Amino acid sequence: MSPDRAPRVPLAAFAVMLGGVSAALHLGKLPPAVPALQASLGIGLVEAGFLLSLVQVASMTLGLVAGLAADTIGLRRSMLTGLLVLTAASLLGGAVGAGLVGGAHAVQWLLVLRAVEGIGFLLAVMPGPGLIRALTPSGADKAALGLWGAYMPLGVALALLLGPALIAWGGWADWWWALSVVSAAAALWVWSAVPADRVRLAATGGVGGAHGANDANGEWSARLRATVGARAPWLTALTFAVYSAQWMAVIGFLPAIYAGAGVPAGWNAVLTAIAAAMNIVGNVAGGRWLQRGVAPERLLQWGFLAMALGGVAAFAQVGQGADALGLPPALRYVAVCAFSLGGGMVPATLFLLGVRLAPNPTTVSTTVGLMQQASSLGQFLAPPAVAWMAHRVGGWHWTWTATLACSLAGMAIARRLGRIRPAAEVA
């Protein structure tokens, strides 16, 4: 079938994508609200840091468990549960901000609710790739998984752009309440558009296929052993880790880098959001290229090569201060955008490989959970390491060594992934 005549992505798959974006909005809602939280609740930087990192800690420690739970209770049911948990937690968080709940213990309430949001986020996004694969015709599944790969940068970019304006207009409590409405609307669309798990499996033989009946009575421990005992899930997880580590280290510190360079706050937010949003373009392009037959290994190599070159161009320089030799600031920003855009091809490809190389159809969400856990570990460890290096050398001009090391590791792992055949082909 020619790409022009390929089946279209169904509406139900778009409902799943919106569910992922709405979950990512909750992940990105806190950074714009930190100044308002400090002003209204008097929280310090340490408490703000805990609020920022609690979601990553949840993903880092519970990703595999959440993926296993999604495979156990059903993909649609898991996404609905996660979105409803996010809705309730954000609703209560807004009540804390309005002084209706918490009182003198408002900060402790927010910390607990942030941890609950981390669990809701995992339950909402773990089943995404499996659901999209089950709902989408084979001719459109690669493009659809490429779109799914953009859920995180799209949600975070929207939060960075919309959050400051809404917080300035109505306060951070209204921001929390607005996002609770968004996740509730996403849950309603998923509930109405996505067939129930048993109906979907019976009708399409999708994720689960011939294993669907056995999976209902199967042991979760068997799925866990199958996932952690196979090589492919670990390789996809490691590839996701070296990708997300460098992307978060660069994009996460852009505001600090630009603030240090004297960029006005308004432009700082816009430039950072644009750089993050370029990742969406890479995800969509990656999905389209996969659909047109480009080998996943080659697309991973292209993505990591773009990150390697973009990182070097953005940060490398000779000397420091006024005598430093490097690219002009405008070209450095273009390099950062190229770094983010090229890197977007990596998650688009890895979500496809996570579905394709899972040990069997009943372990897709468990495999994605392992990928999410490794990704969160990379995002948790890399920014402090890059910041420590910048502190030791007196600037960000050695950051390219970290991005280059991660990219070379990703390219090496991609070559090994390219030699693994899907379980269905082996059988």
Residue-wise pLDDT tens digits, 117-173 = 888 998 998 888 888 888 887 766 677 777 787 788 888 888 878 888 888 888 888
The pair of structure tokens assigned to 337 is 């955008």
Determine the Cα–Cα distance for residues 200 and 79; give it in Å rounded to an integer.
15
**What mean pLDDT value characterizes the chain?**
81
- For 402, other C-beta atoms within 10 Å of its C-beta total 20
The pair of structure tokens assigned to 102 is 């918490």
Mean pLDDT of 402-413: 95
Distance, CA of 180 to chain centre:
19
Mean pLDDT of 299-326: 83
Please tell me the pTM assigned to this model.
Answer: 0.77
Distance, CA of 376 to chain centre:
9
Residue-level pLDDT at 27 = 83
Partners of 325 in beta bridges: 318
Identity of residue 226 = A
List pLDDT tens digits, range 373-383: 888 888 778 87
CB 344 within 8 A of CB 286: yes
Determine the Cα–Cα distance for residues 243 and 262; give it in Å rounded to an integer.
29
Residue-level pLDDT at 52 = 67
pLDDT at 199 over 60: no
Determine the Cα–Cα distance for residues 396 and 316; give it in Å rounded to an integer.
9
CB 145 within 8 A of CB 352: yes
Determine the Cα–Cα distance for residues 210 and 306; give it in Å rounded to an integer.
40
Q: Could you identify the residue written with the tokens 């992505």?
A: 9
Q: At what angle do helices 106-125 and 45-73 cross, to 10 degrees?
A: 30
- Domain boundary assignment for the chain: 3-420
The DSSP symbol for 195 reads P
Predicted confidence band of residue 206 (pLDDT cuts 50, 70, 90): very low
Predicted confidence band of residue 257 (pLDDT cuts 50, 70, 90): confident
Residue-level pLDDT at 50 = 65
Determine the Cα–Cα distance for residues 191 and 203; give it in Å rounded to an integer.
17
Q: Look at phi and psi of residue 9 and say left if phi exceeds 0, alpha if psi is from -120 to 50, else beta.
A: beta
Highest mean pLDDT among 131-140, 204-213, 293-302 belongs to 293-302
pLDDT at 299 over 90: yes
Predicted confidence band of residue 1 (pLDDT cuts 50, 70, 90): very low
* Helix locations, 149-264, DSSP H: 151-170, 172-193, 197-204, 212-217, 220-228, 231-260
Determine the Cα–Cα distance for residues 190 and 192; give it in Å rounded to an integer.
6
Predicted confidence band of residue 410 (pLDDT cuts 50, 70, 90): very high
Percent of the chain that is helix, strand, coil (3-state, to 5):
85, 0, 15
CB 270 within 8 A of CB 277: no
pLDDT at 262 over 80: no
pLDDT at 201 over 70: no
The pair of structure tokens assigned to 109 is 């309430």
Determine the Cα–Cα distance for residues 30 and 35; give it in Å rounded to an integer.
10
List pLDDT tens digits, range 82-122: 999 999 999 999 888 777 876 777 788 888 888 888 889 98
The pair of structure tokens assigned to 343 is 């890197």
Mean pLDDT of 181-188: 96
Q: Which has the closest alpha carbon to 74: 423, 353, 362? A: 362
The DSSP symbol for 395 reads S
Q: Which helix (H) or strand (E) holds 283?
A: helix 265-291
Partners of 318 in beta bridges: 325
Determine the Cα–Cα distance for residues 205 and 209; give it in Å rounded to an integer.
4
The pair of structure tokens assigned to 276 is 């993050």
In CATH, the architecture of 3-420 is Up-down Bundle (1.20)
List pLDDT tens digits, range 315-371: 888 766 555 667 888 898 999 999 999 999 999 899 888 888 888 777 887 888 888
